[in-house]
Chain A
Amino acid sequence: MQSAADRGLGATVGRWRAAGILPVLFLIAAVAVALLPPALHAIATWSSDPELSFGFVVPPVALVLAWLRRPSRSDATQGSWLGLLPIALGLVLLLVGSRVGVHALAALGLLPVGLGLALLLGGRPWVVAVSIPLVLLTGAVALYRGLLNPLGFALQQVSATCAAALAGLTGLPVTQVGVNLYAPGVHLVVAEACSGLDSLLALLCLGGVLVGLAPARPWRRLLLFAFVLPVILVANVVRITLVLLLGGAFGTVVETGLGHEALSGILFAISAALLLGLSYLLECPPRLRRHSSPAC
Protein backbone atom coordinates (compact mmCIF):
# COMPACT_ATOMS: atom_id res chain seq x y z
CA MET A 1 0.00 0.00 0.00
CA GLN A 2 1.34 3.42 -0.95
CA SER A 3 1.92 5.95 1.78
CA ALA A 4 0.58 9.49 1.52
CA ALA A 5 4.11 10.81 0.96
CA ASP A 6 4.69 8.38 -1.96
CA ARG A 7 1.35 9.33 -3.51
CA GLY A 8 2.27 13.04 -3.16
CA LEU A 9 5.69 12.52 -4.76
CA GLY A 10 4.19 10.44 -7.57
CA ALA A 11 1.63 13.13 -8.27
CA THR A 12 4.31 15.83 -8.35
CA VAL A 13 6.49 13.83 -10.77
CA GLY A 14 3.40 13.18 -12.89
CA ARG A 15 2.62 16.89 -13.04
CA TRP A 16 6.25 17.69 -13.98
CA ARG A 17 6.18 15.03 -16.71
CA ALA A 18 2.96 16.49 -18.09
CA ALA A 19 4.44 20.00 -18.12
CA GLY A 20 7.60 18.80 -19.90
CA ILE A 21 9.78 19.77 -16.94
CA LEU A 22 11.42 16.36 -16.49
CA PRO A 23 13.64 16.52 -19.61
CA VAL A 24 14.64 20.03 -18.62
CA LEU A 25 15.60 18.87 -15.13
CA PHE A 26 17.62 16.02 -16.60
CA LEU A 27 19.40 18.44 -18.93
CA ILE A 28 20.23 20.82 -16.08
CA ALA A 29 21.44 17.93 -13.93
CA ALA A 30 23.64 16.60 -16.75
CA VAL A 31 25.18 20.03 -17.32
CA ALA A 32 25.73 20.46 -13.58
CA VAL A 33 27.55 17.13 -13.42
CA ALA A 34 29.69 18.13 -16.43
CA LEU A 35 30.59 21.44 -14.78
CA LEU A 36 31.40 19.87 -11.43
CA PRO A 37 35.18 19.32 -11.98
CA PRO A 38 35.99 22.98 -12.85
CA ALA A 39 33.69 24.12 -10.05
CA LEU A 40 35.51 21.93 -7.51
CA HIS A 41 38.87 23.17 -8.79
CA ALA A 42 37.67 26.77 -8.45
CA ILE A 43 36.58 26.14 -4.86
CA ALA A 44 40.03 24.74 -4.06
CA THR A 45 41.64 27.84 -5.65
CA TRP A 46 39.36 30.23 -3.74
CA SER A 47 40.23 28.45 -0.48
CA SER A 48 43.99 28.53 -1.01
CA ASP A 49 44.42 32.06 -2.42
CA PRO A 50 43.10 34.98 -0.32
CA GLU A 51 43.15 37.21 -3.41
CA LEU A 52 40.59 34.94 -5.09
CA SER A 53 38.48 34.33 -2.00
CA PHE A 54 35.83 36.69 -3.42
CA GLY A 55 34.81 33.69 -5.54
CA PHE A 56 32.85 32.26 -2.61
CA VAL A 57 30.61 35.32 -2.59
CA VAL A 58 30.05 35.41 -6.35
CA PRO A 59 27.60 32.46 -6.80
CA PRO A 60 24.98 33.83 -4.36
CA VAL A 61 25.53 37.35 -5.71
CA ALA A 62 25.05 36.08 -9.28
CA LEU A 63 21.86 34.28 -8.27
CA VAL A 64 20.41 37.39 -6.63
CA LEU A 65 21.44 39.52 -9.61
CA ALA A 66 19.79 37.10 -12.05
CA TRP A 67 16.62 37.18 -9.91
CA LEU A 68 16.57 40.98 -9.86
CA ARG A 69 17.08 41.09 -13.65
CA ARG A 70 14.52 38.39 -14.43
CA PRO A 71 12.15 39.27 -17.28
CA SER A 72 8.58 40.21 -16.47
CA ARG A 73 5.75 37.90 -17.48
CA SER A 74 4.82 40.19 -20.35
CA ASP A 75 8.35 39.70 -21.78
CA ALA A 76 8.11 35.91 -21.51
CA THR A 77 8.83 34.07 -24.76
CA GLN A 78 9.25 30.50 -25.86
CA GLY A 79 12.67 28.92 -25.64
CA SER A 80 14.64 28.28 -28.78
CA TRP A 81 16.39 25.12 -29.94
CA LEU A 82 19.27 27.38 -31.06
CA GLY A 83 20.31 27.26 -27.40
CA LEU A 84 21.75 23.81 -28.05
CA LEU A 85 24.56 25.38 -30.13
CA PRO A 86 26.19 27.38 -27.31
CA ILE A 87 25.62 24.42 -24.97
CA ALA A 88 27.55 22.19 -27.37
CA LEU A 89 30.31 24.82 -27.70
CA GLY A 90 30.57 25.11 -23.91
CA LEU A 91 30.74 21.35 -23.47
CA VAL A 92 33.51 21.16 -26.11
CA LEU A 93 35.47 23.83 -24.20
CA LEU A 94 34.87 21.90 -21.00
CA LEU A 95 36.01 18.65 -22.57
CA VAL A 96 39.13 20.13 -24.19
CA GLY A 97 40.03 22.08 -21.03
CA SER A 98 39.67 18.98 -18.85
CA ARG A 99 41.59 16.84 -21.36
CA VAL A 100 44.60 19.20 -21.60
CA GLY A 101 44.42 20.07 -17.90
CA VAL A 102 43.75 23.80 -18.40
CA HIS A 103 41.11 24.48 -15.77
CA ALA A 104 40.55 28.07 -16.89
CA LEU A 105 39.59 26.87 -20.37
CA ALA A 106 37.22 24.29 -18.93
CA ALA A 107 35.70 26.95 -16.69
CA LEU A 108 35.14 29.27 -19.66
CA GLY A 109 32.67 26.67 -20.92
CA LEU A 110 30.33 27.79 -18.14
CA LEU A 111 29.38 30.98 -20.01
CA PRO A 112 28.15 29.44 -23.31
CA VAL A 113 26.52 26.55 -21.47
CA GLY A 114 24.62 28.94 -19.18
CA LEU A 115 23.60 31.26 -22.01
CA GLY A 116 22.56 28.28 -24.12
CA LEU A 117 20.41 26.88 -21.33
CA ALA A 118 18.77 30.28 -20.87
CA LEU A 119 18.04 30.51 -24.61
CA LEU A 120 16.77 26.95 -24.76
CA LEU A 121 14.47 27.24 -21.79
CA GLY A 122 13.42 30.87 -21.61
CA GLY A 123 14.33 32.58 -24.85
CA ARG A 124 16.12 35.89 -25.44
CA PRO A 125 14.77 37.78 -22.36
CA TRP A 126 16.35 35.19 -20.11
CA VAL A 127 19.63 35.33 -22.03
CA VAL A 128 19.71 39.08 -21.35
CA ALA A 129 18.80 38.51 -17.71
CA VAL A 130 21.52 35.97 -16.94
CA SER A 131 24.31 37.39 -19.13
CA ILE A 132 26.00 39.62 -16.52
CA PRO A 133 25.56 37.18 -13.61
CA LEU A 134 27.07 34.47 -15.81
CA VAL A 135 30.01 36.68 -16.79
CA LEU A 136 30.66 37.34 -13.08
CA LEU A 137 30.42 33.65 -12.26
CA THR A 138 32.62 32.58 -15.16
CA GLY A 139 35.21 35.21 -14.23
CA ALA A 140 35.31 33.96 -10.64
CA VAL A 141 35.61 30.31 -11.69
CA ALA A 142 38.15 30.86 -14.49
CA LEU A 143 40.51 33.31 -12.76
CA TYR A 144 43.83 32.02 -11.53
CA ARG A 145 46.83 33.62 -9.87
CA GLY A 146 49.17 33.47 -12.85
CA LEU A 147 46.71 35.40 -15.00
CA LEU A 148 46.68 38.27 -12.49
CA ASN A 149 50.45 38.52 -11.94
CA PRO A 150 51.22 41.14 -14.62
CA LEU A 151 48.42 43.39 -13.36
CA GLY A 152 49.52 42.85 -9.76
CA PHE A 153 53.11 43.83 -10.56
CA ALA A 154 51.96 46.96 -12.40
CA LEU A 155 49.72 47.92 -9.48
CA GLN A 156 52.64 47.41 -7.06
CA GLN A 157 54.90 49.71 -9.03
CA VAL A 158 52.38 52.45 -9.72
CA SER A 159 51.02 52.38 -6.14
CA ALA A 160 54.54 52.65 -4.67
CA THR A 161 55.48 55.54 -6.96
CA CYS A 162 52.25 57.47 -6.40
CA ALA A 163 52.32 56.87 -2.62
CA ALA A 164 55.92 58.13 -2.43
CA ALA A 165 54.92 61.23 -4.40
CA LEU A 166 51.82 61.87 -2.28
CA ALA A 167 53.71 61.40 0.99
CA GLY A 168 56.39 63.74 -0.37
CA LEU A 169 53.72 66.38 -1.02
CA THR A 170 52.75 66.27 2.67
CA GLY A 171 56.35 67.04 3.60
CA LEU A 172 57.42 63.52 4.60
CA PRO A 173 60.86 62.68 3.19
CA VAL A 174 60.35 59.37 1.35
CA THR A 175 62.97 57.47 -0.61
CA GLN A 176 61.73 54.94 -3.12
CA VAL A 177 63.76 51.96 -4.30
CA GLY A 178 61.52 49.95 -6.58
CA VAL A 179 58.61 48.86 -4.40
CA ASN A 180 60.46 49.70 -1.15
CA LEU A 181 59.49 52.96 0.53
CA TYR A 182 61.76 54.44 3.18
CA ALA A 183 60.54 57.17 5.52
CA PRO A 184 61.90 58.15 8.96
CA GLY A 185 61.33 55.07 11.16
CA VAL A 186 59.38 53.23 8.48
CA HIS A 187 60.40 50.78 5.75
CA LEU A 188 57.40 49.63 3.75
CA VAL A 189 57.43 47.03 1.02
CA VAL A 190 54.56 47.34 -1.42
CA ALA A 191 54.49 43.58 -1.87
CA GLU A 192 52.12 41.50 -3.98
CA ALA A 193 49.58 41.36 -1.15
CA CYS A 194 49.64 45.18 -0.90
CA SER A 195 49.21 45.83 -4.62
CA GLY A 196 45.48 46.55 -4.40
CA LEU A 197 44.57 43.46 -6.37
CA ASP A 198 42.28 42.13 -3.61
CA SER A 199 40.37 45.41 -3.57
CA LEU A 200 40.30 45.52 -7.34
CA LEU A 201 38.76 42.07 -7.67
CA ALA A 202 36.21 42.78 -4.95
CA LEU A 203 35.23 46.15 -6.45
CA LEU A 204 35.09 44.69 -9.97
CA CYS A 205 32.52 42.26 -8.61
CA LEU A 206 30.52 45.06 -6.96
CA GLY A 207 30.88 47.12 -10.14
CA GLY A 208 29.48 44.19 -12.12
CA VAL A 209 26.45 44.13 -9.83
CA LEU A 210 25.90 47.90 -10.16
CA VAL A 211 26.27 47.72 -13.94
CA GLY A 212 23.94 44.73 -14.05
CA LEU A 213 21.21 46.62 -12.19
CA ALA A 214 21.54 49.91 -14.08
CA PRO A 215 18.93 50.55 -16.77
CA ALA A 216 21.23 52.85 -18.73
CA ARG A 217 22.96 53.05 -22.07
CA PRO A 218 25.81 50.58 -22.56
CA TRP A 219 28.51 53.26 -22.84
CA ARG A 220 27.51 54.74 -19.48
CA ARG A 221 27.68 51.32 -17.87
CA LEU A 222 31.04 50.65 -19.51
CA LEU A 223 32.34 53.97 -18.20
CA LEU A 224 31.14 53.16 -14.69
CA PHE A 225 32.91 49.81 -14.86
CA ALA A 226 36.08 51.51 -16.13
CA PHE A 227 36.08 53.65 -12.98
CA VAL A 228 36.74 50.63 -10.77
CA LEU A 229 40.46 50.62 -11.55
CA PRO A 230 41.17 54.33 -10.88
CA VAL A 231 39.06 54.28 -7.72
CA ILE A 232 40.97 51.31 -6.35
CA LEU A 233 44.33 52.73 -7.34
CA VAL A 234 43.60 55.99 -5.54
CA ALA A 235 42.33 54.12 -2.46
CA ASN A 236 45.45 51.96 -2.35
CA VAL A 237 47.76 54.96 -2.76
CA VAL A 238 45.93 56.73 0.09
CA ARG A 239 46.21 53.58 2.24
CA ILE A 240 49.97 53.25 1.69
CA THR A 241 50.50 56.98 2.21
CA LEU A 242 48.55 56.90 5.48
CA VAL A 243 50.64 53.95 6.67
CA LEU A 244 53.80 55.88 5.79
CA LEU A 245 52.58 58.98 7.60
CA LEU A 246 51.27 57.19 10.69
CA GLY A 247 53.77 54.32 10.77
CA GLY A 248 56.52 56.46 12.31
CA ALA A 249 54.28 57.47 15.21
CA PHE A 250 52.25 54.31 15.82
CA GLY A 251 54.53 51.56 14.47
CA THR A 252 53.32 48.10 13.57
CA VAL A 253 49.72 48.75 14.74
CA VAL A 254 49.21 50.85 11.62
CA GLU A 255 51.47 48.78 9.37
CA THR A 256 50.19 45.25 9.95
CA GLY A 257 47.89 44.98 12.96
CA LEU A 258 44.20 45.36 13.54
CA GLY A 259 44.49 49.09 12.93
CA HIS A 260 45.78 48.43 9.44
CA GLU A 261 43.03 45.92 8.71
CA ALA A 262 40.44 48.45 9.86
CA LEU A 263 42.03 51.08 7.63
CA SER A 264 41.94 48.68 4.69
CA GLY A 265 38.27 47.85 5.30
CA ILE A 266 37.20 51.48 5.81
CA LEU A 267 38.97 52.63 2.65
CA PHE A 268 37.32 49.85 0.66
CA ALA A 269 33.89 50.73 2.02
CA ILE A 270 34.52 54.37 0.99
CA SER A 271 35.63 53.19 -2.48
CA ALA A 272 32.45 51.12 -2.87
CA ALA A 273 30.30 54.08 -1.77
CA LEU A 274 32.23 56.30 -4.19
CA LEU A 275 31.47 53.93 -7.06
CA LEU A 276 27.78 54.04 -6.16
CA GLY A 277 27.97 57.85 -6.10
CA LEU A 278 29.69 57.83 -9.50
CA SER A 279 26.85 55.72 -10.89
CA TYR A 280 24.47 58.59 -10.06
CA LEU A 281 26.77 61.23 -11.51
CA LEU A 282 27.05 59.19 -14.71
CA GLU A 283 23.24 58.87 -14.79
CA CYS A 284 23.63 55.16 -14.51
CA PRO A 285 22.10 54.41 -11.10
CA PRO A 286 21.24 50.83 -10.16
CA ARG A 287 17.58 49.96 -9.58
CA LEU A 288 16.51 47.18 -7.28
CA ARG A 289 13.08 46.92 -8.81
CA ARG A 290 12.72 45.19 -12.12
CA HIS A 291 13.02 47.51 -15.09
CA SER A 292 11.66 47.01 -18.57
CA SER A 293 15.00 47.24 -20.39
CA PRO A 294 17.56 45.32 -18.39
CA ALA A 295 21.25 45.64 -19.01
CA CYS A 296 22.56 43.75 -22.00
Chain B
Amino acid sequence: MRLRRYFVVAAAVGAFAVIGVLAYAMLFSQGHGPDLGNQVPWLGHKEASTGPAGQTQPVGSKGDTPPDGGTDAGTATPELPSGMLLLIGAVPVGAGMLLLERRRSRAERR
Protein backbone atom coordinates (compact mmCIF):
# COMPACT_ATOMS: atom_id res chain seq x y z
CA MET B 1 0.00 0.00 0.00
CA ARG B 2 2.76 2.40 0.99
CA LEU B 3 4.76 1.34 -2.06
CA ARG B 4 1.82 2.21 -4.29
CA ARG B 5 1.55 5.61 -2.62
CA TYR B 6 5.25 6.27 -3.29
CA PHE B 7 4.73 5.20 -6.87
CA VAL B 8 1.79 7.58 -7.29
CA VAL B 9 3.76 10.52 -5.88
CA ALA B 10 6.88 9.75 -7.94
CA ALA B 11 4.84 9.20 -11.08
CA ALA B 12 2.92 12.42 -10.56
CA VAL B 13 6.14 14.39 -10.13
CA GLY B 14 7.60 12.73 -13.24
CA ALA B 15 4.51 13.33 -15.35
CA PHE B 16 4.25 16.98 -14.45
CA ALA B 17 8.02 17.41 -14.92
CA VAL B 18 7.69 16.11 -18.49
CA ILE B 19 4.76 18.46 -19.09
CA GLY B 20 6.88 21.32 -17.69
CA VAL B 21 9.81 20.48 -19.98
CA LEU B 22 7.50 20.47 -23.00
CA ALA B 23 5.92 23.76 -21.95
CA TYR B 24 9.44 25.22 -21.65
CA ALA B 25 10.36 23.93 -25.11
CA MET B 26 7.09 25.30 -26.51
CA LEU B 27 7.80 28.76 -25.17
CA PHE B 28 11.31 28.83 -26.60
CA SER B 29 10.49 27.28 -29.97
CA GLN B 30 8.02 30.09 -30.55
CA GLY B 31 10.47 32.78 -29.53
CA HIS B 32 8.54 33.67 -26.37
CA GLY B 33 9.70 33.51 -22.79
CA PRO B 34 12.74 35.14 -21.21
CA ASP B 35 15.25 36.55 -23.67
CA LEU B 36 18.16 34.13 -23.61
CA GLY B 37 19.09 34.62 -27.24
CA ASN B 38 16.15 32.40 -28.14
CA GLN B 39 18.22 29.38 -27.22
CA VAL B 40 17.35 26.18 -25.49
CA PRO B 41 20.92 25.19 -24.57
CA TRP B 42 20.25 21.56 -23.72
CA LEU B 43 18.27 21.09 -26.95
CA GLY B 44 21.15 22.29 -29.09
CA HIS B 45 19.13 24.89 -30.93
CA LYS B 46 20.41 27.99 -32.59
CA GLU B 47 17.36 30.11 -33.28
CA ALA B 48 13.85 29.77 -34.63
CA SER B 49 13.32 30.32 -38.34
CA THR B 50 10.20 31.23 -40.23
CA GLY B 51 8.67 28.66 -42.56
CA PRO B 52 7.08 29.30 -45.95
CA ALA B 53 3.61 29.61 -44.49
CA GLY B 54 4.85 32.23 -42.05
CA GLN B 55 4.91 29.70 -39.24
CA THR B 56 7.86 29.37 -36.97
CA GLN B 57 9.75 26.14 -37.56
CA PRO B 58 12.35 24.57 -35.31
CA VAL B 59 15.88 24.78 -36.59
CA GLY B 60 17.27 21.72 -38.26
CA SER B 61 14.43 20.75 -40.52
CA LYS B 62 14.96 19.05 -43.87
CA GLY B 63 17.77 20.55 -45.91
CA ASP B 64 20.11 21.50 -43.06
CA THR B 65 23.75 20.82 -43.79
CA PRO B 66 24.81 17.50 -42.29
CA PRO B 67 27.91 17.40 -40.07
CA ASP B 68 29.99 15.80 -42.84
CA GLY B 69 29.11 18.62 -45.25
CA GLY B 70 26.94 16.45 -47.52
CA THR B 71 23.53 17.41 -48.91
CA ASP B 72 21.48 14.38 -47.86
CA ALA B 73 17.93 15.57 -47.20
CA GLY B 74 17.29 12.83 -44.67
CA THR B 75 14.34 10.53 -44.11
CA ALA B 76 11.28 11.46 -42.08
CA THR B 77 9.63 8.68 -40.10
CA PRO B 78 5.97 9.70 -40.02
CA GLU B 79 3.55 8.06 -37.63
CA LEU B 80 0.28 6.47 -38.64
CA PRO B 81 -2.70 8.90 -38.82
CA SER B 82 -4.28 9.60 -35.45
CA GLY B 83 -7.60 7.98 -36.46
CA MET B 84 -5.90 4.70 -37.27
CA LEU B 85 -3.84 4.88 -34.07
CA LEU B 86 -7.00 5.48 -32.06
CA LEU B 87 -8.63 2.37 -33.55
CA ILE B 88 -5.47 0.34 -32.89
CA GLY B 89 -5.29 1.59 -29.30
CA ALA B 90 -8.96 0.84 -28.71
CA VAL B 91 -8.25 -2.90 -29.21
CA PRO B 92 -5.98 -3.51 -26.17
CA VAL B 93 -7.89 -0.99 -24.02
CA GLY B 94 -11.28 -2.49 -24.92
CA ALA B 95 -10.04 -6.05 -24.52
CA GLY B 96 -8.39 -5.23 -21.19
CA MET B 97 -11.49 -3.52 -19.87
CA LEU B 98 -13.76 -6.40 -20.91
CA LEU B 99 -11.42 -8.95 -19.38
CA LEU B 100 -11.15 -7.12 -16.09
CA GLU B 101 -14.89 -6.51 -15.99
CA ARG B 102 -15.47 -10.25 -16.40
CA ARG B 103 -13.02 -11.02 -13.62
CA ARG B 104 -14.66 -8.45 -11.39
CA SER B 105 -18.18 -9.79 -11.96
CA ARG B 106 -16.97 -13.37 -11.34
CA ALA B 107 -15.40 -12.26 -8.08
CA GLU B 108 -18.62 -10.48 -7.07
CA ARG B 109 -20.69 -13.60 -7.82
CA ARG B 110 -18.44 -15.64 -5.52
Contacts and interface: CB of A to CB of B under 8 A. Distances in A.
Interface of A: 46, 50-57, 146, 149-151, 153-158, 160-161, 175-180, 182, 186-191, 193-194, 196-199, 201-203, 205-206, 209-210, 213, 223, 226-227, 229-230, 233, 236, 239-240, 243, 247, 252, 255-256, 260-261, 264-265, 268-273, 275-276, 278, 280-283, 285-289
A11 B17 CA distance: 63
Contact of A206 (B61, B89, B104): B89
Given A227-B15, A276-B97, A153 B56 contact: yes
Contacts of A158: 21-22, 25, 43
A158 B100 CA distance: 36
A247 B75 CA distance: 10
Nearest to A265: B88
17 contacts: A54-B85, A57-B86, A153-B30, A154-B22, A177-B44, A178-B64, A179-B60, A182-B68, A187-B72, A187-B74, A202-B82, A226-B19, A229-B18, A230-B19, A239-B77, A265-B84, A265-B85
Nearest to B92: A273
Contact of B44 (A178, A261, A265, A273): A178
Contact of A157 (B12, B23, B58, B66): B58
A199 B96 contact: no
B89 A157 contact: no
Q: Give the most central of B40, B80, B85: most A CB within 10 Å.
A: B85
B8 A177 contact: no
Contact of B92 (A56, A180, A276): A276
A212 to B, nearest CB: 12
Given A157-B29, A282-B8, A196 B58 contact: no
Interface string B73-109: 1111111111111111111110011101100110000
A273 B66 contact: no
Given A189-B75, A198-B82, A155 B55 contact: no
Given A179-B61, A273-B96, A150 B29 contact: yes
A198 B79 contact: yes
Contacts, number: 224
Interface of B: 4, 7-8, 11-12, 14-16, 18-19, 21-23, 25-26, 29-30, 40, 42-46, 55-62, 64-68, 72-93, 96-98, 100-101, 104-105
B89 A229 contact: no
Given A161-B43, A188-B76, A199-B79, 4 more contacts: A156-B58, A197-B82, A236-B79, A265-B85
A256 B82 contact: no
B96 to A, nearest CB: 5
